[in-house]
Amino acid sequence: MIKSIHGLFAYLFLITTIVFVILSLISFFKKSDYKKTNKTLAKLAFISSHIQLVLGLILWWSQGYLTMLGEDMKAVMSDKAIRILAVEHPATNILAIALLTIGFISIKRSALDQTKHLQGIIYFGIALLLILSRIPYQSWLKL
């Protein structure tokens, strides 16, 4: 159940973040105002990423990865499939969500529209690339 919800929120996150980054790129080069649409997309990406984080941590803990790491880290690190799900996926996604959060706060504090667009491109763009690099596509598509 939680895994399915985690997967569904992944779609929401990806759609809102991709649209936000593209809209920020277009708006930056056109020197457009930072509109309510930009703010709404950024907020949806921000909220969905944090819901993903909470659900992901629940899954990570409930699937026993913490126990595996505590009991035999060498075995976990030597098995690529387990290492990706137990270490790389959560660590990379936590870093990505931290960057996205910094970007969201920076955008809120910025006064200039061009600065807001640029911060959205940089922070949300890097976060998106990091998350795309760690999606477990083989299991994710089997919701």
The pLDDT tens digits for 75-124 are 889 988 888 889 999 999 999 999 999 999 999 999 999 999 999 999 99
Task: Give the residue from 100, 90, 48, 53 showing the smallest Cα distance to 69.
Answer: 90
Instruction: Provide the number of structural domains found in the chain.
Output: 1
Question: Which residue segment(s) compose the domain that 7 sits in?
Answer: 2-140
Two structure tokens written together for 92: 């990379």
Q: Inform me whether the pLDDT recorded for 143 exceeds 60.
A: no
Predicted model pTM: 0.90
Q: Give the max Cα distance, the chain.
A: 55
Confidence of residue 140 (pLDDT cuts 50, 70, 90): low
Burial label for 111, CB within 10 Å (0-12, 13-18, 19+), is exposed
- pLDDT above 90 as % of the chain: 69
